[in-house]
Amino acid sequence: MKFRTLKMFSALFFIVMASGCKSVKEYQKVYINDAEMELSIRKVQQTENSFQIYREGASGGNGGKSGGGCGCN
């Protein structure tokens, strides 16, 4: 996969979508406020996130933990 293309696509996607933002009123946030729309790591994923930090070289940048603890095993 051409990751440079993917990165450029992601940046372009973000800019285009951000420029198309509409001011959404509180009473219009029925979908946005749904519990499953949250942007952070979900609690049920916290162990997955920990083992991915330990078994892979990359960490951070996903809304989860980025340090502390050994992960020696």
Partner 1 sequence: MIRIPIIIIAFYLSIVSAFSQATSDSTTYIPRKLKIDEVNFVGSYYQQDGNNAAVTGGIGSEKLHDIPTTIDIRMSSRDRKSRLHSYTIELGMDSYTSASSDNIDPSTISSASSSDQRYYPTFNWQMANEKTGNAIGATLSGSFEYDYYSVGIGVNGSKNSKDNNRQIGLRLQTFQDQLTLIYPIELRSGRPTGMASRNTYATSITLSQVINRRFQMMIMIDPTYQQGFLSLPFNRVYFNDNTETIESLPGSRFKIPIGIRGTYFLGDRLIVRALYRYYWDDWDLKAHTIDLETAVKITPFISVTPFYRYYTQSAVKYFAPYASQDKSAAFYTSDYDLSKFESHFAGLGLRIVAPDGIFGLSRWNMVEIRYGHYERQTGLVSDIISIHCRFKQ
Q: Least CB distance from residue 27 to partner 1, whole Å?
A: 10
C-alpha 11/C-alpha 13 separation (Å) is: 5
**Residue 2 binds partner 1, judged by CB under 8 A:** no
- Radius of gyration from C-alpha coordinates of the chain: 17
**Residue 31 binds partner 1, judged by CB under 8 A:** yes
Residues contacting 66, CB < 8 A, separation 6+ = 53, 59, 60
**Residue 5 binds partner 1, judged by CB under 8 A:** no
Contact residues toward partner 1 (CB under 8 A) are: 3, 6-7, 10, 14, 17-18, 20-26, 28-32, 34-39, 42-48, 50-52, 54-63, 66-70, 72-73
